[in-house]
């Protein structure tokens, strides 16, 4: 927690609103910048925050009471770490269409435990991302389109869709998992009735613990020749497996 801002250390229980009255240059490491300000409900004139030099936005808005955010002027072209950026927020929607994620390597916990119900991530470039663990876990998402996701560099997807109770369908058939080592709890406690993993490869996987644990709604699982299902994945009894 040493990365938390001075705001959290001294004023976490008092700050309800932040107003930018002029240009402010954000630090290269802006992790936890607003994090932990549990009473914070609004940030005015956020467009005044110059993020051109920022490389770390980890947990930037996490654990706040923000219900809306205008990030249209955010320059994220140099950011490598977006882990936990919107974690534990009451945000129900976000416009991230202008986000440049071409240099991001860590998206773990990015939306974890948020109240977001819908996300348009069609502009996301994930070609350099290696960590997607808990990225959408415990969210309120009702739909999610990840057809544009390039997962060829990802090494861990642990708990990526853990406890996504409101998500009843998910198309991850185009995921490239050839470098993924950790798939533990990937779909644990989800509400999915069918999952198509026909094109997935488990050649690099060394951890599949609880991958399908507590998936009581799961009826069908489709896998291909390159997918080896381990016993500790805890696939529920009665699930039809198609190859």
- The pTM of this model reads 0.95
Give the model's pLDDT for residue 5: 65
Give the model's pLDDT for residue 9: 73
1 has pLDDT over 60? no
Distance CA 202, CA 230 (A): 10
Average pLDDT over residues 111-140: 96
> 40 and 14 in contact (C-beta within 8 Å)?
no
7 has pLDDT over 80? no
What does the mean pLDDT of the chain come to?
95
2 has pLDDT over 60? no
List the domain boundaries for the chain. Answer: 1-129, 162-243
Distance CA 212, CA 69 (A): 34
For every residue of 4-60, DSSP letters joined together read: --HHHHHHTTT--EEE--S-EEPPSB-TTSSTT-TT--EEETGGGEE-TT--B-TTT
pLDDT tens per residue across span 57-101: 999 999 999 999 999 999 999 999 999 999 999 999 999 999 999
> With pLDDT > 70 as the criterion, what percentage of the chain qualifies?
98
3-state secondary structure of 242: strand
- Residue 24, beta-bridge partner list: 49
> 36 and 11 in contact (C-beta within 8 Å)?
no
pLDDT tens per residue across span 165-203: 999 999 999 999 999 999 999 999 999 999 999 999 999
3-state secondary structure of 195: strand
């Amino acid at each position: 927690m040493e990365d938390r801002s001075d705001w959290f250390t001294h004023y976490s229980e008092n700050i309800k609103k932040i107003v930018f009255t002029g240009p402010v240059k954000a630090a290269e490491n802006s992790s936890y910048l607003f994090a932990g300000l549990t009473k914070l409900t609004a940030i005015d004139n956020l467009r005044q925050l110059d993020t051109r030099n920022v490389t770390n936005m980890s947990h930037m808005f996490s654990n706040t009471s923000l219900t809306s955010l205008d990030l249209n002027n955010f320059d994220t072209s140099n950011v490598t770490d977006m882990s936990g950026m919107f974690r534990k927020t009451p945000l129900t929607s976000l416009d991230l269409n202008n986000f440049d994620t071409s240099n991001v390597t860590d998206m773990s916990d990015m939306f974890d435990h948020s109240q977001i119900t819908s996300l348009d991530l069609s502009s996301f470039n994930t070609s350099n991302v290696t960590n997607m663990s808990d990225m959408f876990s415990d969210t309120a998402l009702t739909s999610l389109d990840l057809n544009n996701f390039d997962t060829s560099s990802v090494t861990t997807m642990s708990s990526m869709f853990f406890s996504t109770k409101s998500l009843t369908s998910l198309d991850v058939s185009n995921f490239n998992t050839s470098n993924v080592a950790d798939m533990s709890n990937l779909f644990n406690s989800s509400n999915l009735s069918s999952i198509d993993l026909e094109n997935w490869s488990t050649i690099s996987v060394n951890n599949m613990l609880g991958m399908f644990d507590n998936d009581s709604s799961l009826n069908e699982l489709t896998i291909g020749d390159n997918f080896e299902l381990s016993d500790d994945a805890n696939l529920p009894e009665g699930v039809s497996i198609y190859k």
